[in-house]
Structure 1
Amino acid sequence: MLVASGRIDMFRGFFARMIIELVALEGMMASGLAITADLVETANRLRGQAGRTRLFSLRLAGAGAGVAAAFLNLAVAEADAPPADLLVVPGLGFATPDALAAGLARPDVQAAGVRLAAAVAGGAEVAAACSSVFLLAAAGLLDGRRATTSWWLAPLFARMHPQVRLDPDALVVRDGPVTTAGAAMAQMDLMLQVVARHGGPGLAQDCARLLLLDQRSSQARYMAPGFMAAADDRIARAEAWARARLDQPFTAAEMAAAAGLSPRTFARRMACATGLSPVGFIQRLRLERATELRETTRLSMEEIAARVGYADASTLRRLMRRVGAAGRRG
C-alpha cells in the first residue's frame, strides 16, 4: 500500500494510481457520494486531456454500496481487492442528537468504524465530513487530533468527544492520516484538498474552475446563531431580546438577565447550546445582521456599523475579516 505522505504524495502520479474507497452507508446524503465521484472523475479527465495517466481509482464499500453503485456507475470493492490508500465517508443524514446516537449504534455503521480504524492501522488515510466525523471519533481515530465538523453539530461533538481538539470554524482540517470537513457540502472542499495534495494545486484549481466551485477556508460565515440557540429555550429568549437591540450597546450580564439566569449559568448554558461564550454569541448576532445589510442594501460600512451596535466601521471590518465575511464593498 502507498502511504499518502511526503515523497510518496509528490510522486504518486508517476508510479501508481491512488485507490480511493468511498464508504457508502444507508441514509447517507447522496450529494456527498456524487460530489466525491464527480471530482475524482473530473480530475482524472483533466489529466487525460493533458496526456497524463489517470490519478485516482474509485470504488465503493459499505452496507449501502450496492444501491450507490447503480446511480454512480462505480464498482463495489471485492473481498480480495487491494487495500485502499484513502477511505472517504461523506456526511450521514443524522439531523438530531437522537438520530445521531441511533445511527452510530447501527451494526453497519459500527462495522464501518472498525474498517476505518483497521485501514489507518495499515497505513491508509481516512476522511469524513459533517456527521460522519462522529464516526471517526467513535472509532478512536481523532483522539488528541485537530478536527472539524458541521458548525451546528459542533457543541454536541465537543461534549461527546472532549479528547478531540475541535475547530468548528475550519472548513477542512488535516491531522496526520485523518482529514475532516464541515457541513455536508464541505465534501467538495474536502475532495478539492485531496486532489490538490495528490495531484497538485493546479489540478485542484482546474477542477474548481470547470465545476464552478468556490474554494473556501472557513465555515464561520455560514453559522446561524439563532439555529443553535433554539436548542435551549432560555438562550432562545435571550437571543430574541438581543436581536431587538442590535443597534445598541449591551452587556452579556444584561442578556443573562433577559434570559432570567445568573451570568454564570447563562454562560454555561450558552456554551452548551452554541459552543460560544456570551460575548462571542453577541458578536455572531451583530455580524449576521451586518452581513445581511451588506448584501441587501447600499448602506455604507459606517451606517451598517451603527445599525449593529459598533461605534466605528473599522471594528466591524476587522470582525468580518476574521470570520471571512468581508465582501467587495466598503
Structure 2
Amino acid sequence: MRNVTVLELPGGMASSLAIALDALKAANVLCVHAGRRAPFEIRSLKVTRASSCTFGSGDIVIVPGLGGFSEADLTARLSTPMVRRAVRLVEEARSAGAVVAASCAGTFILAEAGLLAGRRATTTWWLAPTFRKRYPDVELCAEQVVVADWPIATAGAAMAQMDLMLAVIAKFAGTRTAEDCARYLLIDRRASQVPYMAMTFLAGQDEQIARAESWLRKNIEREVTMDDLAAAAGLTSRTFARRLHTVCGMSPVRFAQRIRGEVATMLLETTRLSIDEIAQRVGYAEPSTLRRLLRRDTSHPPSRLRRPG
C-alpha cells in the first residue's frame, strides 16, 4: 500500500481536490470488492505557513489545481506564504524519493520547486504562455492532457485532474484498476487539449500576435504565407516565428491551421454547408486537407462535429 498525500491549498480548486480524493477512494473500493488489497493509504494535508509532513521513498504527493483566473492573479498567489510552503513541501517530498503529480495551475508549484527543469510537462492551455516565459528550461507540451514523466506527472486544465488520477492509478495500482475506475466514474480518456484551446485567447496575450490572428481570420479564404502573417503583425518573419512559439507554442503553419480548423468547426456546427464548401471558405482547395486537419485535432471526422437538427 502506497501513502498518498493530497495537498489542500487555501483558495485552491475544490473540484480538483475532490476529484483527486474521490478517484483514489474509488480505486481502493473497487480493488477490495474484487478481492484485491486496497492500493492507497490516503490523507489530505491542509497547507498553512507551518505545515509539515514526513515523506518516504515511493510515497505519492498530489497537487490539485491552484485556482486563479488571470496571469496577475496566479503571479500574486505564487508569492503567498501558503503557496511558498507548498513549494517547499513538494521539494521535500521529491528529495525523499516520492512521486509528485500536479494539474492545472498546480503545475506552477512543481516548476517553482525546480522539479520540472529539463523535463517534459504540461499545464492548463490558457496559462501556457505564462508558463513558457516563467520556466524556459521546461519542455512544455501544452497540447497534451497528461504528461507522465515519472517520477513526476503533470496535467492540463482543471478537469484534467481526473486524467491525472487515472494515470497515477494505472501506474501504481495497474491498468485494470484504472480502467475499472474510468468505467465506474463514467470517464472518457482524452489525449489532447487541442480541441479546447481558443486561439483568440492565446494570441490575445501579445498585441502583435493578436494582430496577425485577426488579419488571418479576415483573410481566411486566401492562401497565406508566413511572410504575410509576419507583415500583419508588424514583425520580421524570424521574429514573428520566435514570438509566436513563445506565446502559442506553435509554428506559423500550425497557427494558421488551428485558426482555419476553428472556423471550419464553427461552420460545421452552425450551418448546413458541405465540407467542400467549408474547405473553400477556410482556404483549402482540397477538402481532404481539411478532413485530415480536423481528424488530427479533434480525433473525429467532420460528420461527427455536426450538431443534430
TM-score above 0.5? yes
CA displacement at 1:84 relative to structure 2? 7.3
Q: Which runs of 5+ in 2 are unaligned?
A: 305-309
Q: Which runs of 5+ in 1 are unaligned?
A: 1-16, 66-76
Q: CA offsets per residue over residues 141-180 of structure 1, 9 Å max, x none? A: 1111111111121122122112111111111111131001
Q: Percent identity?
A: 49
Instruction: Work out the CA distance in 1 between the residues paired with 2:13 and 2:4.
Output: 18
Instruction: Work out the CA distance in 1 between the residues paired with 2:238 and 2:302.
Output: 40
**SS class of match (1:87):** strand
CA contact (8 A) 1:189 1:215 kept: yes
Counterpart of 1:6 in structure 2 is none
Q: CA-atom RMSD, angstroms?
A: 2.5
Instruction: Work out the CA distance in 2 between the residues paired with 1:215 and 1:206.
Output: 13
Counterpart of 1:152 in structure 2 is 126
CA displacement at 1:285 relative to structure 2? 0.3
**SS class of match (1:46):** helix
Counterpart of 2:37 in structure 1 is 53
Cα 1:270–1:134 change in 2 (3 A) is: same
CA contact (8 A) 1:90 1:130 kept: yes
| Residue 83 of structure 2 corresponds to residue 109 of structure 1 | yes
CA contact (8 A) 1:62 1:108 kept: no
Residue type of the partner of 2:176? G
CA contact (8 A) 1:21 1:84 kept: no
Q: Which stretches of structure 1, 4 residues or longer, exceed 6 Å deviation after superposition?
A: 80-84
Q: Which moved more, 1:183-192 or 1:147-156?
A: 147-156
Q: Which moved more, 1:200-209 or 1:80-89?
A: 80-89
Q: CA offsets per residue over residues 237-284 of structure 1, 9 Å max, x none? A: 332221122222222322333334443443344334323333221111
Q: CA offsets per residue over residues 68-124 of structure 1, 9 Å max, x none? A: xxxxxxxxx996797871100011112222222221111211111111111111111
Counterpart selection for 1:175 from 149, 170, 180:
149
**TM-score (norm: length of structure 2):** 0.89
Q: How does 1:1-330 map to 2 (within 5 A)?
A: 17-63=1-47, 85-327=59-301, 329=303
Residue type of the partner of 2:13? M
Instruction: Work out the CA distance in 2 between the residues paired with 1:176 and 1:238.
Output: 38
Q: Which moved more, 1:276-285 or 1:254-263?
A: 254-263
Instruction: Work out the CA distance in 1 between the residues paired with 2:289 and 2:43.
Output: 49
**SS class of match (1:284):** helix
CA contact (8 A) 2:295 2:301 kept: no
CA displacement at 1:19 relative to structure 2? 1.6
Instruction: Work out the CA distance in 2 between the residues paired with 1:84 and 1:64.
Output: 24
The count of corresponding residues between Structure 1 and Structure 2 is 303
Instruction: Work out the CA distance in 2 between the residues paired with 1:79 and 1:163.
Output: 29
Instruction: Work out the CA distance in 2 between the residues paired with 1:138 and 1:108.
Output: 13
Cα 1:193–1:81 change in 2 (3 A) is: closer
Residue type of the partner of 1:148? T
Cα 1:109–1:78 change in 2 (3 A) is: closer
Q: Which moved more, 1:120-129 or 1:274-283?
A: 274-283
Residue type of the partner of 1:113? V
Instruction: Work out the CA distance in 2 between the residues paired with 1:298 and 1:45.
Output: 48
Instruction: Work out the CA distance in 2 between the residues paired with 1:28 and 1:226.
Output: 27
Residue type of the partner of 1:43? A
CA contact (8 A) 1:291 1:325 kept: no
Cα 1:199–1:327 change in 2 (3 A) is: farther
CA contact (8 A) 1:145 1:164 kept: yes
**TM-score (norm: length of structure 1):** 0.83
Q: CA offsets per residue over residues 170-200 of structure 1, 9 Å max, x none? A: 1111113100111111101000111122222
Cα 1:248–1:115 change in 2 (3 A) is: same
